[in-house]
Amino acid sequence: MIAILDYEMGNLSSIYNAVSYLGFQAVITRDPSVIEKADGIILPGVGAFKVGMAHLHEFGLIEPIRRHVVEEEKPLFGICLGMQLLVEVGYEHGETKGLGIVKGEAVPFKDVIDPKLRIPHVGWNSVKQTGNSQLFGDIKADSDFYFVHSYIVRPRDPDVVCSVTDYGVDFCSSLSFGSAFATQFHPEKSHTQGLQLLKNWLEGIEHA
């Protein structure tokens, strides 16, 4: 059973619909006792880093997430803000501590790219796989996925980077560390390749 975390940061129904469509059981929850029993967690989210962390704190989800990933080494799939929150710190109106599961930081696009490029980065862009993750499976090496974000993650260790995407700068569009895998793009909004990626992750849990 997959737990999709509800911390009031974004459209959960799309993810739930995608997981159900693929034939897997999911529940939208913020109940730590349910999360504890989950085989896998999806950490979704769109919006601000600071607000995201504040909500995770408010709903008592920080410890359950850390326990699931770090102690129990159970699978987690982070999407968009869900990927950004995995790092140590986010820089937006000051500094905010993240979950600290992956070494690195989240920074605003506007600080690192040509000011002529429009922000947020919205639309389909090429996800160039680095080969650091098997989860992409048979998905073509530079398939397009849907992005919508104003921040990027800069992991400290290049080996965690599973794909790179170009928008003014080559940024990390997916990463993998321990049992955590995360994408800056929205697989639930990326047609067949997005669904395939989710399916690969879900099947990996089923066969574990």
In whole angstroms, the minimum distance from the beta carbon of 94 to other proteins comes to 17
- In the complex with other proteins, the residue whose CB is nearer, 47 or 178, is 47
**Binding pattern to other proteins, positions 182-201, x when CB under 8 A?**
----x-xxxxx-xx------
Q: Helices 12-21 and 191-206 sit at what angle, rounded to 10 degrees?
A: 70
Torsion, CA 162, CA 207, CA 25, CA 2, rounded to 10 = -50
- Tokens, residue 201: 């992750």
Q: Which of 55, 68, 80, 121 is catalytic?
A: 80
* Residue 188 among the catalytic residues: yes
Is 179 near other proteins (CB under 8 A)? no
**Binding pattern to other proteins, positions 113-132, x when CB under 8 A?**
--x--xxxxxxxxx------
Rounded CA separation 198/15 (Å): 10
Rounded CA separation 60/63 (Å): 7
CA angle centred on 137, ends 42 and 164, rounded to 5°: 75
Q: Given the rule CB under 8 A, which residues bind other proteins?
A: 9-11, 13-14, 17-18, 21, 46-48, 51, 115, 118-126, 144, 146-150, 166-167, 186, 188-192, 194-195
